[in-house]
Amino acid sequence: MLSNKEILKLIKEASTDLHNYKFEKSFETSRNVLHHAIISKDDYLIARSYNNIAANYQGLSEVDKAIIYFKKGLSYANKTNNDTIKNWLNNNLGNLYCFDKNQFNVGLNYYKKALKHSEKINDTTQIYVTKLNITWAYFHIGNFDEGKYYLNFINEYKKRYSKSSTIIAVNMLNGMFYSHKKEFDKANLFFLEAIKLGNNGNEIEDLSYAHEEYAKLLFKTENYKEAYENMAIFNRITSELNDSKKLRRAGLVGINLELDEYKRKVDIIESEKKLQYQNLRKSKIIVVLFIITLCVFLLLFYTLFKSYIFKKRKNEELIIANKELSVAKENAEVASQKKSQFVSTISHELRTPLYGVVGITNMLLDEHKELADSPHLSSLKFSARYLLSLVNDILQINKIEENRIILESKTFNIADEIHMIKNALTFIAKNHDNVIIINIDPEIPEYLIGDKLRLSQVLMNLVGNALKFTKNGKVNINVNLFKVEGKSCFIEFNIEDNGIGIAIEDQDKIFDTFVQIDRKEIDYQGTGLGLAIVKRLLGLFNSTIHLESEKGKGTKFKFVIAFESDAVKTLEIINNIQVELNSEQSFKILVVEDNKINQVIIKKIIEKQNSNCVVANDGYTALEILDKERFDVILMDINMPLINGFETTRKIRQKGIYTPIIALTAFSKEEITEEAISAGIDDIINKPFESELLFKTINYILSKEKECFLN
């Protein structure tokens, strides 16, 4: 075990390697140091280690990982009395949020915290660096008036730091300020000085920024040739830096995984500490609750005794009523089960030929490029996709009604989700000459926890409807922080359009299944299930939807959903996300499938990925083939004659064959998961599927199997 003095020495070595762009060596040293710092339980050394790790990620432009590790370091630094490390970490987070995440207010808040810590210990160097960063941040967003206050400070002290690495940035900031003030001669002198110092020093990134800002000045003064030359230098330096970072990043994958593993161990240790503290509190609470419960129990016992005689009389009446209810319940359950079986069977029978239509269409487009513009082929593909969407909508309604949907808890960024929805609906918007406008409250936390898939379904249906019933107009998506209660953030969503609107007499009908208003006038297409699904999904969120509309003036839908906001839990969810593993490997795959069309499609997909494919028409044929040949993976259809996929899998496992088996089925995943696990199936993919998803699943299962073997 290393002493604290030895650990600190290694931390400084890792920092030196980082400044010399020796990222791999710095990472390796930091990982080793973090391990010993955790064992020594020294919060300052742990914070310093995380600061180095995060700075390496920042140097490699992996911004999100850098933020996670800087925040991790800050959580340990805040447990210490060392204001220097607190200043470093807050200052670094300010840089990332202002310049990489473009969240100025968040970054400014970190800068102000950094200033407080450096002023507390009167560290003039750190005060100077932090105020320089704040000046740059204000100028970056074009707020020169606010930035001037900080520029005056750094100009006052710049002689003291004229030999430091910051002097290039100081000259550049003065150039930016005088360029803004249109004092172009002064600005020109400062920029030339910055470029001169950059060419003589090692601050390559600052030199690139100086060329970029100088090009902007030259453009203002109509010196276009020189402006172009400076932008060319900026682009060349930036390209060289980025290429260098990519090469270094490629060699650090293994180290990154190890660092993540150490971070998870730290989280486990912290969780155990918290659990011990909570157990101690629970013990005290249990004693108090026991006394209260005993008193309540005695009171209840007296009350129950008095009501016993009354209840006895009522029980006789209830017995008769219960018998009648029991019969009615049994009849309802039988009817519900038959309905569920019918929907499941019909969906499977529809999905199987639709998968064939979609797959064959894709094959034709892939093999015959000249048919890419064929209206007949496009119509065929659209019709198949449309029918598939209808089947999925009916299944969705059926699942919600039978309470078979359980909301997930995943971390997500609400702005990212809404912009993805906008991108997905751009085609519909363009077809109707509409504009989608997004307004998101900046007070909403960066990460929320909830079921982002179901939220996306709700928003896709509402925004899609708004675009469909609006032409030459706009659709507004407004998202606001409604209120905060503990760790719950209540988010209000408003979807507003200026389309055809909904008449008052029709507003109560639109949330019913298979309802289409104004279908007689214009063919808007659709199943009439979208808003019915929205209403039922919001019910799962314990939310209700409100409608405001006037015929000819547009429509507004509004609802509020509570999401969890918990930084610790968010970090745990992020840590448990499986890393996607890519592979160029060629596989030998056995396909067990009775449908001839599906055989052709799946075989084409596999052979296109340079893998070998053997097809078995049924389960018994597959068992005979497996007695003679060995495969990397088996793709198993479920609904087959003679012997189904579940029974075939059981017989394969009984033979002692543990080759990974992936079910390819038109059945809903939730319907067969339990039986699939029991039979020995490793994963399930629903038809129709994309080839990318199939090979990602194969890569993941085989890498998981390899990892288990190595362990």
Spatial neighbors of 367 by CB under 8 A, at least 6 apart, are none
Is residue 450 scored above 70 in pLDDT? yes
Kindly state the helix (H) or strand (E) to which residue 123 belongs, with its residue range. Answer: none
DSSP-derived secondary structure letter, 505:
G
Task: Give bridge partners of residue 481 from the DSSP assignment.
Answer: 491
When pLDDT is cut at 50, 70 and 90, the band that residue 422 belongs to is confident
Name the CATH architecture for the domain at 410-570. Answer: 2-Layer Sandwich (3.30)
Please state, as a whole number, how many other Cβ atoms lie within 10 Å of the Cβ of residue 109. Answer: 15
The answer to whether residues 71 and 109 touch, using CB atoms and an 8 Å cutoff, is: no
Closest CA to 644 of 674, 620, 628, 627: 620
Is residue 517 scored above 60 in pLDDT? no
Domain ranges of the chain: 158-251, 255-401, 410-570, 588-710
Specify the pLDDT at position 536. 84
Query: How far is 660 from 631, CA to CA, in rounded Å?
Result: 9
The answer to whether residues 377 and 371 touch, using CB atoms and an 8 Å cutoff, is: yes
Residue 704: exposure state from Cβ atoms within 10 A (0-12, 13-18, ≥19): middle
Is residue 120 scored above 50 in pLDDT? yes
Is residue 630 scored above 70 in pLDDT? yes
Least confident of 3-7, 230-234, 524-528: 524-528
Parallel, antiparallel, or unpaired: how do β-strands 546-550 and 554-564 relate?
antiparallel
Is residue 681 scored above 50 in pLDDT? yes
Average pLDDT over residues 162-182: 86
Specify the pLDDT at position 90. 93
Specify the pLDDT at position 88. 92
User: For the chain, what percent of residues have pLDDT higher than 90?
Assistant: 24
Spatial neighbors of 17 by CB under 8 A, at least 6 apart, are 23, 25, 26, 29
Specify the pLDDT at position 689. 72
Spatial neighbors of 170 by CB under 8 A, at least 6 apart, are 132, 154, 155, 158, 161
Specify the pLDDT at position 410. 83
Residue 644 in 3-state DSSP? coil
Is residue 579 scored above 70 in pLDDT? no
Specify the pLDDT at position 271. 65
- The model's pLDDT over 217-265, given as tens digits with 9 standing for 90+, comes to 888 888 888 888 888 888 888 887 776 655 455 445 445 544 555 555 5
Is residue 532 scored above 70 in pLDDT? yes
Q: Provide the total of helices (H) and of strands (E) in the chain, helices listed first.
A: 24, 12
Reported as half-sphere exposure (CB side, CA atoms, 13 A), residue 263 has a value of 27
Give the angle 470-475-478 at the CA atoms, nearest 5°.
Answer: 155
Average pLDDT over residues 434-459: 88
Reported as half-sphere exposure (CB side, CA atoms, 13 A), residue 19 has a value of 8
When pLDDT is cut at 50, 70 and 90, the band that residue 626 belongs to is very high
Considering Cα of 226, then 227, then 231, then 234, what sign does the dihedral take? positive
Specify the pLDDT at position 347. 59
Measured in degrees and rounded to the nearest 5, phi and psi for residue 496 equal: -130, 135
Average pLDDT over residues 345-363: 65
Considering Cα of 198, then 199, then 204, then 205, what sign does the dihedral take? positive
- The model's pLDDT over 464-496, given as tens digits with 9 standing for 90+, comes to 889 888 999 999 999 999 999 998 999 999 999
Q: Which of 22-31, 331-340, 518-527, 589-598 ranks highest by mean pLDDT?
A: 589-598
Specify the pLDDT at position 246. 55
Query: How far is 53 from 364, CA to CA, in rounded Å?
Result: 50
Specify the pLDDT at position 338. 60
Specify the pLDDT at position 584. 59
CATH class of 588-710: alpha beta
Q: Which of 417-426, 430-439, 497-506 ranks highest by mean pLDDT?
A: 430-439
Phi-psi region of 182 (alpha: psi -120 to 50; beta: other; left: phi over 0): left
Is residue 327 scored above 50 in pLDDT? yes
Average pLDDT over residues 36-41: 87
Query: How far is 82 from 307, CA to CA, in rounded Å?
Result: 67
- The model's pLDDT over 64-80, given as tens digits with 9 standing for 90+, comes to 888 999 999 999 999 99
Is residue 522 scored above 50 in pLDDT? no
Least confident of 53-57, 382-386, 437-441: 382-386
Tokens of 624: 């005979």
Please state, as a whole number, how many other Cβ atoms lie within 10 Å of the Cβ of residue 435. Answer: 13
Is residue 400 scored above 80 in pLDDT? no
Q: Is the peptide bond before 688 cis (omega within 30 degrees of 0)?
A: yes
Is residue 369 scored above 90 in pLDDT? no
Kindly state the helix (H) or strand (E) to which residue 264 belongs, with its residue range. Answer: helix 253-367
Least confident of 229-238, 394-403, 606-615: 394-403
User: Does residue 418 or residue 364 have the better pLDDT?
Assistant: 418
166-to-1, 136, 194 alpha-carbon distances in Å: 39, 12, 10
The answer to whether residues 357 and 394 touch, using CB atoms and an 8 Å cutoff, is: no
Which residue has tokens 């390819």? 664
Specify the pLDDT at position 250. 43
Average pLDDT over residues 364-381: 64
Average pLDDT over residues 670-685: 86
Specify the pLDDT at position 566. 84
Query: How far is 649 from 683, CA to CA, in rounded Å?
Result: 12
User: For the chain, what percent of residues have pLDDT higher than 70?
Assistant: 79
Give the angle 93-98-100 at the CA atoms, nearest 5°.
Answer: 85
Kindly state the helix (H) or strand (E) to which residue 106 belongs, with its residue range. Answer: helix 104-120
Question: Per CATH, is 158-251 categorized as 1.20.20.10?
Answer: no
Summary mean pLDDT of the chain: 81
709-to-517, 699, 704 alpha-carbon distances in Å: 59, 15, 9
Least confident of 26-30, 204-208, 530-534, 580-584: 580-584
- The model's pLDDT over 138-154, given as tens digits with 9 standing for 90+, comes to 998 889 998 999 999 88
Spatial neighbors of 56 by CB under 8 A, at least 6 apart, are 18, 23, 26, 27, 30
Specify the pLDDT at position 254. 41
